[in-house]
Amino acid sequence: MFEILVVCTGNICRSPLAEVVLRGTLEQLGGRVHSAGTQGLDAAPMTPEAQRLVVAMGADAGAASAHRSRYLTAAHLDSPDLILAMSREHRGRVAQLAPARLRSSFTVREFARLATGIPDADIVSAVASAGPDAAARVRAAVAIVAARRGLSAPPDDPADDDVVDPYRRPWATYQLSAAQMSPGLDQVARVVSLATR
C-alpha cells in the first residue's frame, strides 16, 4: 500500500481539501492519503468554505465533514512515499523535521510543474524495475519527478510554487486556492495511477 501525506498550516483548509480529493481519486488503487498541519490546531473541522469546495470538486462531502485537524510531527513523515506541501514554507518545515524526506517532498504546484513534462511511457518504464509492491513503484515514480528539479527551470516568481492560504479570506480566495492546487492533484493522480497499474 502506498501512502501520501499532504501538509499545510492549520490542516483545516488546503491540505484536507487535497486529501479528500486525492483519496477519492486514488481510492480504487488502495493507497492511504492523509494530512497534517504545521501549526497547532488540534481536532478542528474543515472550514465550511473548504467543505463546499470538496463538493464542488466532486469529492466526498462526508469525508470532508468528518475531517479533524492534526499537528504535523516527525513520526508522520516516516512512511509516506510522497509528501505534498501547500507552500515552500511547509516544505521547509518537513525538511526541518525529517531532512531525509526532502527528495520525496514537493509543493503541490512544484509537483505539477515538474511532472507535466514527463511522458506516461517514461513513468511506466521507471517503475518497471520496482517490482509489484505499490509503495516501491510510487517511490520510483516520485524519484523520476524529483530528478527533474535540476532540469526544469524554476518559476520566475518562487511564490508561484505556493498555493494561497484562503483561511479567513473571501470565497474568491478559496476558489483561487483550489484552482492553484488542482493541476498538482491531477498530476499526482496521473503519476500514481501509472505507477501502480
Give the residue numbers marked as catalytic: 8, 14
Residue that has been written with the C-alpha cell 497499474 in this structure: 197
Question: Which one-letter amino acid corresponds to residue 168?
Answer: R
8 Å CB contact between 95 and 72? no
- CB contact burial 45-56 (16+ within 10 A = b; e otherwise): bbbebbbbbbee
Query: Count of CB atoms within 10 A of residue 24's CB?
Result: 17
Query: Phi/psi at 85 (nearest 5 deg)?
Result: -105, 150
